[in-house]
């Protein structure tokens, strides 16, 4: 079975290949990403968890895995990420609950939870 980290890398690589075919789009997308997710009134980790909640509710696997990893990389704790998953579950019901298992699997792979 493919790990969540491997799955994220696979999706990320394919998306990067697709974006490379449109360099102007890639440039604008990366600039927008840097602007939106930089520390501001809200810290980057909170913005990434907000995006993770949106991804869980919309059931976008690549976004779920990417935003979770980026939340971790920006300093979010396992407890914060799990709490954000609970918010997603309130918004998205059982479908968001099912998608949240990907987040838990990723946290386990990273050694952040048992």
Q: Report how far residue 87's alpha carbon sits from residue 41's, in angstroms, rounded to the nearest whole number.
A: 21
82: left (phi over 0), alpha (psi -120 to 50) or beta: alpha
Domains, the chain, ranges and CATH? Answer: 4-109 (1.20.1290.10)
Structure-token pair, residue 98: 């099912």
- Residues 12-49: pLDDT tens digits? 899 999 999 999 988 999 999 999 999 999 999 999 99
* Residue 74, phi then psi, degrees to nearest 5: -95, 5
- Residues in CB range of 78: below 8 A, 6 or more apart: 107, 112, 113
8 Å CB contact between 17 and 9 = no
- Note the pLDDT tens digit of each residue in 47-100: 999 999 999 999 999 999 999 999 999 999 999 999 999 999 999 999 999 999
CB 71 within 8 A of CB 48: yes
pTM of the model: 0.91
CA distance 43 to 75: 10
């Amino acid at each position: 079975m493919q790990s969540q980290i491997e799955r994220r890398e696979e999706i990320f690589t394919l998306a990067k290949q697709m974006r490379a075919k449109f360099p102007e789009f890639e440039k604008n997308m990366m600039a927008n990403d840097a602007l939106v997710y930089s520390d501001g009134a809200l810290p980057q980790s909170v913005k990434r968890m907000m995006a993770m909640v949106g991804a869980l509710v919309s059931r976008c696997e690549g976004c779920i895995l990417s935003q979770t990893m980026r939340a971790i990389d920006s300093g979010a704790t396992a407890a914060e990420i799990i709490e954000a998953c609970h918010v997603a579950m309130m918004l998205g019901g059982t479908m968001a609950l099912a998608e949240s298992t990907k987040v838990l699997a990723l946290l386990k792979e990273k050694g952040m939870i048992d």
